[in-house]
């Protein structure tokens, strides 16, 4: 199962529409969740609408929260999306058997068995979550809370029975026009990771769409890299961001 | 995630199950859990609690846990789950629900406020015994907090909201940050009996020192949170001092399960300092002295006139 979790506080303003990018992700089998972090005011009507639409296009969930709720929200969202992803797959199977895929269409006695399977798969299947962090200037004071949320998420994922990995990206990248930079490659633990975000140079733009495309590409290359590693006798894929 | 769950059943409304046609008359809202609302309902002059879910998979998952628990219960235990069905909400949409036994009781904080703090040691013990039954059956309650414990007469406790109940070894399904040992950097979120005992410890502190606990969560940097600070609050609190040693052990995961925790708690209860004799307030002493003086004066006058 693959997820992208976007944490942002406003509107994208450069490049490809993030809604289009999220739809791309969805077609690659990656769910996109979006958390909008509020500080004192709000993200504005435009920001809220965009956050909602990105998640819808990406087959995920969206939430607007303040910093204190961030950890709990990120954790619950990831968990809910895992269940949703499996539910969709199970419903596809059910459709072949019953003609109607909705779990609600089953009588309550039969529902129990299906949900048991969903719960079991949700706990045991492999999970990858790529966190994509908006590091534009207005997000700077919120990055400590974001880092806490990432550590908290890792703690929750470690409790699962299936293999769980996270990777962390932030955008915009450097002054040289990179859309997105990887801070942390796939990992199953954060022990010994002192700071996830090194000294960031805050850029002026918010290229949310291009950054999502970048992470999709990372996912694809990751898959490719794994295959080629098997074929080429342990040679690393050599993917450098 | 707090569900923004808008459907509302109003008082007097009669709801009927779609599959089994059971009818229930709605009395009032009892409470709101993480994945649904709980109402007091009536059927054939009996009171029940109805949990209405926003999501069929979420609620069914909880029902599965309740059904497994019911199967494990020995005979002689009252059945917990009476009916599972779907209903049409006022908005015309279908919602899953289940019917369970209605527990008449007040919240933990209310109970101690009304009945007096001397009930705390016994309430604590009864809660540990409740948890130990779950643990013996291979389950962990998960979302143990003040709001999820009801207390009826004579410190009889009942756990409500089984949304967090998790089989041992799996990841905790639902928790509340300040009660979570992971939040305090004191261990994983994998379900084991010690997880509940940690939450029980936080619950004790939340009951007696809610302000200090809140202050601590606001002040501490996430990476610096640790159980030592919780123990310090307990040691500084008159009500918690007698159990501070017990809490330290619970936070450190030194009790294997709630059974062992309950045994240690029971020993504490029979020590004299746990039930501190209530001191006589100063004003009462003053009153007594005043009364004595008055009596002496009247006796003096009485004797004087009689002689």
| B68: in domain | yes
At residue B273, the pLDDT reads: 61
* Residue ranges in chain B modelled with pLDDT below 70: 1-4, 74-79, 272-290, 294, 300, 302-307
Q: Nearest CA of chain B to the CA of A224: how many Å?
A: 31
CATH value at residue A56: 3.40.50.410
Domain membership of residue B47 as a residue range: 23-101
Q: Choosing among B34, B56, B84, B184, which should be mutated to test the A contact, i.e. which has the most A CBs within 10 A? A: B56
The reply to whether B73 and B166 lie within a common domain is no
A109 chain-B contacts, CB cut-off 8 A: 84
CATH value at residue B163: 1.10.510.10
The reply to whether B204 and B257 lie within a common domain is yes
Residues B13, A70: Cα–Cα separation, whole Å? 38
Residues A168, A220: Cα–Cα separation, whole Å? 16
Residues B271, B273: Cα–Cα separation, whole Å? 6
Nearest chain A residue to B60, by CA: A112
Complex prediction ipTM:
0.82
At residue A41, the pLDDT reads: 61
The reply to whether B124 and B162 lie within a common domain is yes
Q: Is A165 on the interface with B (CB under 8 A)?
A: no
How many domains would you assign to chain A?
1
Q: Chain A to chain B, count of Cβ pairs less than 8 Å apart?
A: 69
Are the Cβ atoms of B1 and A161 closer than 8 angstroms?
Answer: no
Q: Nearest CA of chain B to the CA of A84: how many Å?
A: 9
A123 chain-B contacts, CB cut-off 8 A: 170-171
Q: Provide the 10 A C-beta neighbour count for residue A203.
A: 20
Q: Nearest CA of chain A to the CA of B235: how many Å?
A: 28
Are residues B255 and B108 in contact, defined by beta-carbon separation less than 8 angstroms? no
Longest dimension (CA), chain A: 60
The reply to whether B261 and B150 lie within a common domain is yes
User: What is the residue whose two structure tokens read 């960031």?
Assistant: A200
B195 chain-A contacts, CB cut-off 8 A: none
Our measurement of the distance from residue B221's CA atom to the centroid of its chain's CA atoms, rounded to an integer in Å, reads: 28
Mean pLDDT by 10 residues, chain A (241 residues): 91 89 95 87 74 94 88 89 86 75 83 90 93 87 89 93 93 74 90 78 81 93 52 40 40
The torsion of the CA quartet B134, B136, B138, B141, rounded to 10 degrees, works out to 20
Residues B115, A19: Cα–Cα separation, whole Å? 57
Element (H, E) at B150: strand B149-152
Are the Cβ atoms of B189 and A156 closer than 8 angstroms?
Answer: yes
Q: Residues with Cβ < 8 Å from B58, sequence gap 6 or more? A: A83, B35, B36, B163
Are the Cβ atoms of B86 and A108 closer than 8 angstroms?
Answer: yes
How many domains would you assign to chain B?
2
The reply to whether B79 and B165 lie within a common domain is no
Least CB–CB distance from A115: residue in B57, B85, B190? B57
CATH value at residue B52: 3.30.200.20
At residue A91, the pLDDT reads: 80
The reply to whether B205 and B87 lie within a common domain is no
CA atoms within 13 A on the CB side of B174: 20
Domain membership of residue A59 as a residue range: 2-71+127-231
Interface of B with A in 180-209 (CB under 8 A): 182-183, 188-191
Global pTM?
Answer: 0.84
| A100: in domain | no
Vertex B112: Cα angle to B107 and B265 (nearest 5): 100
Catalytic residues of B: 143
Are the Cβ atoms of B182 and A76 closer than 8 angstroms?
Answer: no
Residues A219, A175: Cα–Cα separation, whole Å? 24
């Amino acid at each position: 199962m693959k997820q992208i979790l976007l944490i942002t506080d406003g509107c994208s303003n450069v490049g490809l529409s993030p809604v289009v990018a999220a739809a791309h992700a969805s077609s690659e089998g990656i769910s996109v969740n979006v958390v909008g972090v509020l500080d004192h005011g709000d993200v504005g009507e435009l920001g809220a609408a965009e956050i909602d639409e990105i998640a819808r296009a990406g087959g995920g969930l969206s939430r607007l929260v303040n910093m204190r709720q961030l950890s709990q929200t990120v954790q619950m969202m990831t968990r809910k999306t895992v269940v949703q992803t499996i539910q969709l797959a199970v419903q596809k199977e059910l459709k072949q058997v019953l003609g109607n895929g909705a779990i609600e269409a089953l009588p309550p006695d039969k529902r129990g068995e299906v949900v048991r399977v969903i719960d079991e798969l949700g706990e045991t299947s492999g999970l990858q979550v790529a966190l994509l962090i908006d590091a534009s200037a207005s997000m700077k004071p919120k990055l400590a809370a974001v880092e806490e949320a990432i550590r908290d998420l890792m703690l929750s994922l470690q409790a699962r029975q299936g293999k769980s990995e996270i990777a962390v990206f932030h955008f915009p990248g450097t002054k040289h026009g990179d859309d997105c930079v990887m801070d942390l490659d796939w990992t199953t633990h954060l022990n010994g990771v002192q700071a996830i975000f090194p000294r960031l140079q805050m850029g002026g733009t918010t290229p949310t769409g291009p950054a999502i495309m970048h992470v999709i590409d990372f996912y694809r290359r990751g898959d490719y890299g794994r295959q080629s590693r098997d074929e080429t006798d342990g040679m690393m894929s050599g993917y450098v961001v | 995630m707090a569900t923004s769950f808008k459907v509302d059943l109003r008082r007097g409304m009669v709801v009927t199950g779609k599959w089994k046609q059971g009818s229930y008359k709605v009395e009032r809202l009892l409470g709101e859990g993480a994945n649904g609302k709980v109402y007091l309902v009536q059927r054939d002059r009996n009171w029940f609690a109805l949990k209405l879910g926003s999501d069929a998979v979420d609620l069914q998952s909880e029902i599965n846990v309740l059904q497994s628990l019911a199967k494990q219960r020995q005979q002689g235990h009252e059945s917990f789950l009476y009916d599972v069905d779907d209903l049409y909400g006022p908005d015309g949409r279908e919602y899953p629900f289940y019917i369970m036994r209605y527990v008449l009781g007040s919240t933990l904080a209310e109970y101690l406020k009304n009945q007096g703090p001397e009930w705390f040691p016994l309430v604590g013990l009864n809660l540990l015994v409740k948890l130990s039954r779950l643990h013996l059956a291979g389950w962990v309650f998960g979302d143990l907090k003040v709001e999820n414990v009801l207390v009826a007469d004579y410190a009889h406790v009942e756990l409500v909201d089984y949304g967090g109940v998790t089989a041992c070894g799996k990841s905790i399904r639902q928790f509340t940050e300040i009660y979570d040992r992971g939040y305090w950097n004191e261990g994983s979120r994998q379900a084991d009996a010690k997880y509940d005992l940690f939450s029980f410890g936080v619950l004790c502190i939340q009951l007696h020192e809610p302000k200090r606990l809140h202050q601590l969560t606001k002040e501490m940097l996430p990476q610096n949170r640790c159980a030592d600070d919780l123990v310090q609050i307990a040691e500084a609190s008159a009500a918690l001092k007698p159990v501070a040693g017990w809490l330290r052990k619970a936070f450190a995961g030194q009790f294997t399960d709630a059974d062992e925790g309950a045994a240690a708690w029971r020993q504490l209860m029979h020590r004299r300092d746990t039930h501190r004799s209530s001191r006589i307030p100063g004003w009462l002493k003053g009153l007594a002295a005043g009364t004595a003086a008055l009596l002496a004066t009247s006796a003096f006058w009485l004797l004087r006139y009689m002689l």
